[in-house]
Each structure stands twice: as C-alpha cells, then as structure tokens.
C-alpha cells in the first residue's frame, strides 16, 4: 500500500445473493484529500461505504485502510479501526431524544474516558466550528434541516477522525444550507488533516470542494479525474451525469417493443 493513500480499494466485487452490485472496482483515497464517488441511484456507491466501514465483506478483492485489510480484522481490530473513522449519515440521523450538546458528546462518552469538563469543552469547540455553539441546548425537533446537518457534522468530527465517510450530505438542503455544509466539509477536513469519502448526487457543490472524483455505473468505475478534468470530460456517461442531459448512455426510455407496434396492437384490439 502506498504511504500517500489512506484508503485503497483493490479490484473489489460484491453482490447481494446472486445480484452483482460491484465488479472489480479499484479506487485510491490520498491522505488529507476529499474524494467523491458519484453515479446514478443503485450503482453501488453506498455499498462501497459499507465495505469501507466493514459492515460488508467483498466477495473478491480487498479494502485497505492505513495498511489494514478491513475484512480480515477480528472484532477487536475492526472496532479499534472504526474509532478512528466517522460517518455523516444521510439526513444527519441525530438522536431525537437528545439535545444538540448530547448528540455531539455521544461519541466521546462512548469511546473516550474523559472527564465531563473536557467533554464539555470539546463539544462546544466543535459546535463553534460549525456555527452552532449557541444552539447547544436545543432539541433536534427545534432545528432546521441545515442546522441538523451541521450538528451531525460536528458529531462526526468530535473525535478528530482520520477518515470521514459522507452519505449524501447535501440531500434535502436548500442552496444556502448546501453551500454552508459544503464549505464546512472542506474547512474541517483541511483543519483535521483527515481524509473524506463523499457519496453524493450533487455535481455543482461537489466540484467546488473535492480533490478527485470517481464515477460509477453498472458496478464499475466508468470515469475519474480532478474537478477541472471532469468539467472538460468527453466521456459520454460522465458528461451526461455532470450536465444532467436527459438522454445518452443512460437512456430516457425503459426497454420496450416498438411504439408503433404497441399502439397498433392496442388500436386493433380496441377496434374489435
């Protein structure tokens, strides 16, 4: 494993029962960088996050984090690795019966034997970083969608992880909240020296904050590059996704018999 890469996904294949999801996927996530994984719904993006976190085991290939093959670790080794990772779930996934403060403090209380005054200082420090120190006593039901996502981000970074996984961090946000969350992801990643893997559909926001992108379709990597390379790409699948084109390699029409034949048969049946 290269020292410059924190995460290496090597020729990974995976399927649910007999349905293949990933076929020989290879990716590199350099230390200190933000890497996006993009593609249509159902292409295997979230499955890649689950393989990285050790929730799933590949059928072939390997996922390495800091030189360790994730699926070869025993329970103790996997839990130790996960303590150095964090995840921001889609829509935040805050504990609804805990205050903002307690949500952010939860990982510290679970995984670190720290005195409560230190927990308080660390939580308020992370909330300050996302602009919500003044909201520490609020409950999740009192937060806007953008505020809830920022609290979830503070919780994700409260233990200064080496690797942060993001599953659709911009889903459901208005343009202002999306811009704020995107800016925070970039700033916090740089401040922590962390590595981030971002699964997202949001092309515009991602191109502004990530260092490298992979595009996945039908279980394979079909394109990759820096934001500038992706903006200039001529690869049909990637170009269609980036520019939101209606038709292309991903067709508008679901496969069907000829339209005239179907309409003709229907008309003939009606005439009878």
- The pLDDT tens digits along the chain (272 residues) read 567 999 999 999 998 877 888 999 999 999 999 999 988 777 778 899 999 999 999 999 999 999 999 999 999 999 999 989 998 987 778 999 999 999 999 999 988 889 999 999 999 999 999 999 999 999 999 998 889 999 999 999 999 999 999 998 888 888 888 899 999 999 999 999 999 999 988 888 888 899 999 988 888 898 888 988 888 777 766 766 666 666 666 665 667 777 777 776 555 555 55
Closest among 12, 7, 23, 99 to 62, alpha carbons compared = 12
- What DSSP state is assigned to residue 220? E
The reply to whether 226 falls in a domain is yes
Residue 271 neighbours by CB under 8 Å, 6+ apart:
none
pLDDT score for 270 = 55
The reply to whether 268 falls in a domain is no
The reply to whether 174 falls in a domain is yes
Distances (CA, A) of 16 to 22, 41, 44, 59, 197: 10, 16, 11, 10, 23
The reply to whether 262 falls in a domain is no
Into how many domains does the chain fold?
1
The reply to whether 225 falls in a domain is yes
The reply to whether 49 falls in a domain is yes
The reply to whether 145 falls in a domain is no
The radius of gyration of the chain from alpha carbons, rounded to an integer in Å, stands at 22
Cross-strand partners of 64? 8, 69
Enclosing domain of residue 33: 5-84+161-236
* Intra-chain end-to-end CA distance of the chain, in Å: 71
pLDDT score for 271 = 53
CATH number of the CATH domain containing 62: 3.40.50.300
Query: Within 13 Å of residue 196, how many CA atoms lie on the same side as its CB?
Result: 32
29 by DSSP, 3-state: which? strand
Residue with tokens 């720290």: 114
Tokens of 212: 């490298």
* Angstrom distance (rounded) from CA 24 to CA 77: 26
* Angstrom distance (rounded) from CA 158 to CA 107: 8
Q: In what order do the strands lie in the sheet with 60-65?
A: 19-30, 5-16, 60-65, 68-69
- What DSSP state is assigned to residue 67? T
pLDDT score for 205 = 83
Distances (CA, A) of 108 to 112, 145, 154, 170, 221: 5, 24, 12, 25, 37
The reply to whether 15 falls in a domain is yes
Which pairs from 179-183 meet CB under 8 Å and 24+ separation?
179/205, 180/131, 180/146, 180/150, 181/146, 181/149, 181/150, 181/153, 182/206, 182/208, 182/209, 183/209
Give yes or no for a contact between 220 and 249, defined as CB atoms under 8 angstroms apart. Answer: no
């Amino acid at each position: 494993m290269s020292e410059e890469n924190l995460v290496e996904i090597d020729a990974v294949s995976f399927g649910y029962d007999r349905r293949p999801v990933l076929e020989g996927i290879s990716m590199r996530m350099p230390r200190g960088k933000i890497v996006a994984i993009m593609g249509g719904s159902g292409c295997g993006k979230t499955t890649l996050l689950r393989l990285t976190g050790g929730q799933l085991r590949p059928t072939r290939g390997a996922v390495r984090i800091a030189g360790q093959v994730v699926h070869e670790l025993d329970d103790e080794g996997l839990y130790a690795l996960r303590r150095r990772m964090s995840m921001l779930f889609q829509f935040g996934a805050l504990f609804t019966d805990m205050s903002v403060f307690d949500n952010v403090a939860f990982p510290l209380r679970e995984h670190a034997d720290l005195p409560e005054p230190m927990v308080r200082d660390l939580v308020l420090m992370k909330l300050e970083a996302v602009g919500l120190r003044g909201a520490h006593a609020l409950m999740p039901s009192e937060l806007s969608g953008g505020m809830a996502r920022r609290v979830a981000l503070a919780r994700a970074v409260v233990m200064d992880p080496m690797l942060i996984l993001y599953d659709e961090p911009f889903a459901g946000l208005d343009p202002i909240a999306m811009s704020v969350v995107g800016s925070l992801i970039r700033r916090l990643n740089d401040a922590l020296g962390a590595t981030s893997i971002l699964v997202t559909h949001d092309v515009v926001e991602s191109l502004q904050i990530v260092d490298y992108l992979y595009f996945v379709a039908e279980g394979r990597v079909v394109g990759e590059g820096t934001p500038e390379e992706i903006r200039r790409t001529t690869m049909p699948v990637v170009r269609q996704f980036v520019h939101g084109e209606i038709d292309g390699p991903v067709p508008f029409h679901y496969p069907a018999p000829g339209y005239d034949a179907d309409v003709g048969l229907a008309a003939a049946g009606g005439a009878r």
